[in-house]
Amino acid sequence: MTRPATPRDARLRDLAVLLTCLGVLLLMPPFIGLVSPRRSVLGLPLQALYLFGVWAGLIVGAAILARRLDTAPPPDA
């Protein structure tokens, strides 16, 4: 038998959905187009830095969220 969802479980599930939606939004072409392709930082195009920065941020966010989900209390038997 499964345990009822707690407010913490619901909040973590909402955070997972929010992280996914934020990632989709930030990686859409209109948002990528806001970053100038002609500018560079340390010789790297700003668009590439934006893409890899968003990508790295999503990975870190997913790792933190996964760790919090892993430490959730086990269901009662």
What is the secondary structure of 22-63 as a DSSP string? HHHHHTSHHHHTTS-SS-EETTEEHHHHHHHHHHHHHHHHHH
Judge whether 75 lies within some domain. no
pLDDT of residue 1: 43
User: Is 1 inside any structural domain?
Assistant: no
How many domains does the structure of the chain reveal?
A: 1
Whether 77 is in a domain gets the answer no
Instruction: Tell me the residue range of the domain where 40 lies.
Output: 23-70
> Considering the domain boundaries, does residue 18 fall inside one?
no
| Mean pLDDT (10-residue bins), the chain, 77 residues | 67 90 94 86 90 96 88 59
- Supply the pTM of this predicted model: 0.76
Let me know if residue 62 belongs to a domain: yes
Judge whether 3 lies within some domain.
no
